[in-house]
Amino acid sequence: MEAGPTNGGGASPMQQMLGGPAPTFVSLTDDILFGQVWSRPELSRRDRSLTTITSLVSAGNIEQLEAHIPMGLQNGLTEAEIVEAITHVAFYAGWPRAVSALTLAKELLSKD
């Protein structure tokens, strides 16, 4: 299953979250980021998910992992790959960020 901007033809997650007050932001997210950028052939969706997860950890944007870890699984990453990527990036991004990310990953991965 490919991750994308819509939920089965309905409103996208971003439309559900910010559609009323920020329609331009929603459009940029859905059309440019998840439309054009995520469909570029130079990287697979799997590789884009791995890059996104490690980038979010590095930037300390742990709350965004709640959407991107499940998306990574849908795009072909394994639980072990996600945990290993976060472990690896801990040495570059900081131990506290990795602890926070792994805590959230544990919670998300135990839901399956």
Token pair 């309905």 in the structure block, residue: 10
Please, what are the averages of pLDDT over each run of 10 residues along the chain (112 residues)?
A: 50 80 88 93 97 98 96 98 98 97 96 71
Asked whether the beta carbons of 54 and 85 are under 8 A apart, the reply is yes
pLDDT at 47 (0 to 100): 98
What structural domains and CATH numbers belong to the chain? 1-42 (no CATH), 45-109 (1.20.1290.10)
pLDDT at 57 (0 to 100): 98
pLDDT at 10 (0 to 100): 80
pLDDT at 8 (0 to 100): 55
Q: Give the DSSP per-residue string, 6-45.
A: SSTTS--HHHHHHTTT-HHHHHIIIIIIIIIITT-TTS-H
